[in-house]
Every structure is written in C-alpha cells, then in structure tokens.
Amino acid sequence: MASRSTLTYSERAARHSHPVAKLFLETAERKQSNVIVSADLTTSAELLKCANDLGPYIAVFKTHVDVVADFNEDTVKGLNELAKKHDFLIFEDRKFIDIGTTVQKQYHGGALRISEFAHIVNASILSGDGIVEALSQVMNAQSFPYKDARALILLAEMTSKGSLATDDYTVQCVELARKQTGTVIGWIANRSLETIPTQSTPSDTEDFLVFTTGVNQSTKGDKLGQQYQTPTMAIERGADFIISGRGIYAAENPIESVQSYQKEGWEAYLKRVKKE
Ligand code: 5BU
C-alpha cells in the first residue's frame, strides 16, 4: 500500500472511515489549502475580523478562546457563521490534560462552550487513557447534539524548546490513537509518526492526520522557546495541515501573508504527492 503521505487529500478522504477526518481532507482539497491560521487574538472583534478576512484562504481556523477577554455567546455564534460562510473548520487548541470527569465538563457546557463550535480539540495523554475515553463518551453519546461532527487529536509532540512530549510519550500517543479510531483522527506532531517503532502493528487503512504547529516563513523562533520550521519543511516531514499564528496574523498585510503560506503549503503538498 502507498504511504499515507503520498496519497492525495481526495484519495484519503474517499477511503477514510471517520466522518470528521473526511471533512478535513475534503476541505483541504476543495479550498486547495492546508493552512491553519492560529488566531491568538484577545478580543472577539479581532478574532472574528481575522476569521472573516482570512477565511477564504484557510482550511481551518485555530482558536484559544480562553485568551479572548470578552468571549461570549456572540463569539460562538460569529465563529459558527463565519465557518459556514467561508467553508472552514474550527480547531480549539485547548490541550485538555485533566482527569476524565473534569475534562468532560470543560469540553461540553462550561464557560467556553467548546463543543458548540470546535470540530476538533486536542488532549495530552499525560493523565493516562481516561482522558481519551472521557472525550469519546461525550462525542459518541446518542444525546450529544454534534455526534459524528466532532473529533479529537492527541498532543504527540510540541514545538517548544525542552518539550517533554518525546520518545515513549509520543509512542504511547500512537498506541492509544490506534485503540480509539472512533474518536481520535490524528495528532499534533512536528513530523510524520507513521513509521516510528511501536508495539502494535498499524492496520492497512490506518490514516491519522498530522497537524504541525510552529510554522513560519521568515523566523526561526521567539524569545520564549518557540521553534519554527517553514511550510515546505513541515509538509516534507509529513504535515497534512500547517499551523501558523504570528507569521500570518501579525504580518504587515495578513491577507498577503496567508496567501503566501497557502501557495507554499499547497505547492509542497503537490510535490509530496507528485501531482505538480
Ligand atoms: P505562532 O505565533 O505561530 O508561534 O503560534 C503558534 C500557535 O500554535 C500557538 O497558538 C500555540 O499555542 C500553538 N502551539 C505551538 O506553538 N506549539 C505546540 O507544540 C502546540 C501548539 Br501543541
């Protein structure tokens, strides 16, 4: 079987069994964009303006709604409306980490209303398997209003200097994801984890989506330990979606910048799947 990373988004969408993974792959193909803008903005007005301005060029809008000072019901409504208008998906980068029962309350209901707008969220498995089971229970409950429209990705690696999300922790993410394919559709990682040594054997149809943060066209890092790779490097190393924050929203002209990331990310993808 061909390696996952040399198949096109459409080919992968057609054979994927998870409806949310399909949606991500189809959206990338339809919009010819594998860019996720990380909109770390601190007011609802700035967040929604960013989504409206950059929405046409991205596949996914990534939020940290806990940094939005005036986050409220209208923010959720605005995000949902703009996602429809511009055909993008939403990833809330909440990094759940607590015991299962707490995480269930943080995800569904609570102050941040995450389940109401985020197609995917991420979790660390530092607390063990229970966190994945807990989110699976909520997402797969018959009474859950967004059943089959929500999924989880695991925090398998991080981009910051000195990160402890390495080695056996990363391997355990892969092992756990393989046991929970009804809920886990991929991971945050700086490279493809397809061939890392694991105890279990991947199924023939295994296809976890790779989301890579720390992408920047012009800088190598920041003063607080962030480390960057370029869009091309990230895609060559196996990213399916490239995530950039300040490289896009803090640029002098964010629209020109997002277009440039879209072009570079798409060209690198075409080269990887040999369709250029
Ligand atoms: P930047 O402005 O492109 O550096 O923003 C990076 C974003 O990605 C920011 O929202 C971080 O929280 C997020 N991030 C990251 O930088 N590195 C990681 O390993 C993970 C998330 Br997980």
Question: Which domain CATH number covers 268?
Answer: 3.20.20.70
For 242-276, the pLDDT digits (tens) are 999 999 999 999 999 999 999 999 999 999 999 76
Where does 130-229 have alpha helices with state H? 130-140, 167-179
Annotated catalytic residue, options 22, 49, 95, 263: 95
The per-residue pLDDT for range 7-62, each reduced to its tens digit, is 999 999 999 999 999 999 999 999 999 999 999 999 999 999 999 999 999 999 99
pLDDT tens-place string over residues 66-104:
999 999 999 999 999 999 999 999 999 999 999 999 999
Query: Residue 83: in which H helix or E strand, if any?
Result: helix 73-86
CB contact at 8 A, 96 and 129: no
Confidence of residue 1 (pLDDT cuts 50, 70, 90): very low
- The answer to whether residues 33 and 24 touch, using CB atoms and an 8 Å cutoff, is no
- Lining ligand 1 with CB less than 6 A are 38, 40, 64, 93, 155, 158-159, 188, 213-214, 216, 226, 243-247
Give the mutation target among 213, 218, 241 for probing the ligand 1 site: most ligand atoms within 8 A of CB. Answer: 213
3-class state of residue 126 by DSSP: coil
Cα of 246 from ligand 1 centre, angstroms: 9
Q: Which atom of ligand 1 is nearest to the CA of 216?
A: 3
Active site residue 85: no
**What is the total count of domains within the chain?**
1
- Of all protein residues, the one whose alpha carbon is nearest to atom 18 of ligand 1 is 158
Query: Containing domain of residue 22, as a range?
Result: 4-273
